[in-house]
Amino acid sequence: MKQFSTLLTDLTDGILLITINREDKLNALNKTVISELDEVIDELYKDPEIKGAIITGKGPKAFVAGADITEFKGLNEEGGKALARRGHEVFNKIEMSPKPIIAAVNGFALGGGCELAMACHLRIASENAKFGQPEVKLGIIPGYGGTQRLTQLIGKGKALELLMTADTIDAVCAEKLGLVNDVVQTVELLEISRAMISKITSMAPIAIAEVIQSVYAHFKDGIDGFDTETELFGKCVATADFVEGTNAFLEKRKANFKGQ
């Protein structure tokens, strides 16, 4: 995999660790980070050696503390729309990845950082993690999907409260609201995230991809999620992995899935 200027990557045992590497800027998202995230997620889609990914931030203070506000200066309406569309494009690609992606949230996940975490399939937070969408303090709203994904995860009432007050919540509160799946000790964050992604990637990869597609069908306009589930269930039944999985169950052995 190529070297990036704002990301560190490490592929071990099929799990790609993506670390946003702007520690001196609290890993703030700028155009380069967004572009390089786009590139690395493309690699995840295409590379058969990559089974899943973890996204985290460099250092102990921040996952991603927000967008790089220096890039906001001089933006006009059309420039703002273009910036948001680009973020949506990349974060939607993360959300719809057929391979599982976990956000290992270490420290601040504010603004674009919270939006990035929410675009991942699961979120595991360190005990010092903080979450928030403080954009109204700047006279704007979230632009990378925050108004939509926060509402999906925690419900309309609480989402509106956090979006309009710009309040920051801690990891325990985030877990209670359903924003994160688990809260762990900081020193165990990557270890537990790796264990979770490894457990998921030990399952049938086609089935995992179709679970992701079926769940997100619920949120798509004009799409019947039940119909999608029916179609994708039928697709899974036609795979060699289904034959292997059922045979392994009946023979009381571990399945050897091939992704076929």
* Cα distance between residue 94 and residue 22, in whole Å: 20
Task: Identify the active-site residue in 23, 89, 95, 115.
Answer: 115
Select from 117, 89, 88 the least CA-distant residue to 18.
117
Alpha helix ranges (H) inside 105-237: 112-119, 146-154, 156-165, 171-177, 189-201, 205-217, 225-237
Using a 10 angstrom Cβ sphere, with 0-12 exposed, 13-18 middle and 19 or more buried, the burial of residue 237 is exposed
Please indicate whether residue 115 is annotated as part of the active site: yes
* Cα distance between residue 116 and residue 94, in whole Å: 9
Select from 64, 184, 190 the least CA-distant residue to 128.
184
Please indicate whether residue 71 is annotated as part of the active site: no
CA distances from 134 to 101, 111, 161, 203, 235 (A): 25, 6, 11, 38, 43
- Provide the residue type at 244 as one letter: E
Task: Identify the active-site residue in 36, 135, 175, 210.
Answer: 135
| Active site residues per annotation | 115, 135
